[in-house]
Structure 1
Amino acid sequence: MDLQLRGKKVLITGASQGIGEGLAEVFAEEGCSLHLVARSGDKLQALAQRLRDEHGVDVVVQEQDIAAAGAAEAIGSAAGRVDVLVNNAGAIPGGDLWQVDAQNWRKGWEVKVFGYIDLCRTFYAAMKQAGGGVILNNIGNGGENFDFRYIAGSTGNAALMAFTRALGGRSLDDRIRVLGINPGPVATDRIVKIMKNRAREQWDDESRFTELLAEYPLGRAASVREVADLFAFLASPRSAYTSGTIITVDGGLTSRRSI
């Protein structure tokens, strides 16, 4: 299927590793030019060069802390006109209400909650003036599964889900589509760290983290590619009537809940 993305300009935050790196790979394969943003300049440069060599696309990198004052404006100024914004940066810390203190709670939200909101504010206005665009928010199914042990993340993700629905409900009036994607566990270094922490809490043995992973659908977490391919489709004109909604990709975990 031709996703009709060739020649589009895509901006991806948190692009240096994990899902962000996978997103850059997929959009490069589709022939998009890329503006990649992350705090790790060295990793970005290495990724950009590989994508240029392998896919022949234009890649610009920007080393930027999303939580810094004026970050959204700095990114908007550097990137210029973009067709697709993918908000992907940030990981809200795990832990219960007492393990995540006020400082770390706010620090996590500065990137993933307020960072997303600020970038949407900046790029929505530019897209409206240019005649349209797509905004994709990588949120996470913690916003649907209220987890005592991930309370800051569950709360932040739920807020981003509400924000995405509110913004995307009327955005097609401006020829802009706004969508949220809720991945469940994805096979990245981050999920391994989380599972090791939980194995240590449960059994005092982090090496047993694979037993927790085995409880997921198909006995594994989602691959980065399974998530990134969904983003590409949703960004494309093939999904032109989709806005103001959240798509969950977690192997059915959210739907397994029961009393």
Structure 2
Amino acid sequence: MNLNLRGRRALITGASKGIGAATAEVLAEEGCDLHLAARSAPALEDLAHRLRATYAVDVDVHPVDLRRPDDLARLAEEASDLDILVNNAGDIPGGSLDAVDGKAWRHGWDLKVFGYVDLTRLVYARMKARGRGVIVNNIGVAGERVDFNYIAGSSGNAALMAFTRALGGRSLGDGIRVVGVNPGPVATERILTLLEAHADEGADAGLMAGYPLGRAATPREIADLIAFLASDRSAYTSGVVFTVDGGMSAAGA
């Protein structure tokens, strides 16, 4: 599907693997020039080399730690003149209230919650000056299906859902759309590692059997939606968050 994105400029955070890398692939297929940000320089370089060779697009890499204000400011300056921002980086720890101490809680939120907010603030100002742009926040279904054993992540995701709706509710007045995506279980390295750890008891098969279609979503399925939302085919969409979990939230699963 031609999303008419050729020649657009997109920045993707957390781009070295998982949904971030899949989003880079889809946008490159659509002809976007890319800025890829993550902490792992070798992984970014490998991905950038492949995307340049395969799709003949410009790809710049930015090894940064988005918890650091100086890195955030440098990234926004180096990746200026953007059409699309995909906020995707995050590693909020799992655990209940007594298992996640204040230091771990703040460390996780500094990357995902405040990282999204602070980078959006910097990019939004530049988009507003140009009168156009799209910001897609990849958040997570735990913000609506809250989880006692993922309390820091549920709370952070809920905050980002509210942030997306509050900003996107008025952003079209500045020519900017702000939308969010809430993936449910996705077959990323993190989930596959968890399943492997329990494979000796067949827990992986049992867990997957409980998912719609007997599987988790693929990163590409989430990335395809992100690309569509970033395109002009979704030009009247702002201030909303789309859930992609095979219907589990709707079913109360």
TM bin (shorter chain): over 0.9
| 1:143/1:157 contact within 8 Å kept | yes
SS of the aligned residue for 2:166 comes to: helix
User: Residue 206 of structure 2 aligns to which amino acid in structure 1?
Assistant: E
User: Residue 150 of structure 1 aligns to which amino acid in structure 2?
Assistant: Y
1:119 maps to what in 2?
119
**In 2, distance between residues paired with 1:206 and 1:39?**
35
CA RMSD of aligned residues (A): 1.4
1:158 is displaced (CA, Å) by 0.3
User: Under a length normalisation based on structure 2, what TM-score does the superposition of the two structures give?
Assistant: 0.96
1:237 maps to what in 2?
232
SS of the aligned residue for 1:70 comes to: helix
User: Residue 164 of structure 1 aligns to which amino acid in structure 2?
Assistant: T
2:146 maps to what in 1?
146
| 1:195/1:213 contact within 8 Å kept | no
SS of the aligned residue for 2:192 comes to: helix
1:196 is displaced (CA, Å) by 5.8
2:208 maps to what in 1?
213
1:193 is displaced (CA, Å) by 3.4
**In 2, distance between residues paired with 1:138 and 1:131?**
23
User: Residue 245 of structure 2 aligns to which amino acid in structure 1?
Assistant: D
**In 2, distance between residues paired with 1:162 and 1:194?**
29
Per-residue Cα deviation, 1:22-59 (whole angstroms, up to 9, x for no partner): 00000000000000000000000010000000000000
| 1:196/1:207 contact within 8 Å kept | no
Query: For the structure 1 residues 88 and 27, does the alpha-carbon distance in structure 2 shift closer, same or farther, using more than 3 Å as the test?
Result: same
1:186 is displaced (CA, Å) by 0.5
1:227 maps to what in 2?
222
SS of the aligned residue for 2:52 comes to: helix
SS of the aligned residue for 1:24 comes to: helix
User: Residue 171 of structure 1 aligns to which amino acid in structure 2?
Assistant: S
User: Residue 159 of structure 2 aligns to which amino acid in structure 1?
Assistant: A
1:130 maps to what in 2?
130
2:245 aligned with 1:250:
yes
Percent identity (aligned): 60
Per-residue Cα deviation, 1:112-148 (whole angstroms, up to 9, x for no partner): 0000000110000000001110000000000010101
2:102 maps to what in 1?
102
Q: Give aligned pairs, total.
A: 253
SS of the aligned residue for 1:100 comes to: coil
Q: How does 1:6-45 map to 2 (within 5 A)?
A: 6-45=6-45
| 1:92/1:108 contact within 8 Å kept | yes
1:206 is displaced (CA, Å) by 6.2
**In 2, distance between residues paired with 1:209 and 1:102?**
32
Structure 1, unaligned runs of 5 or more: none
1:73 is displaced (CA, Å) by 1.1
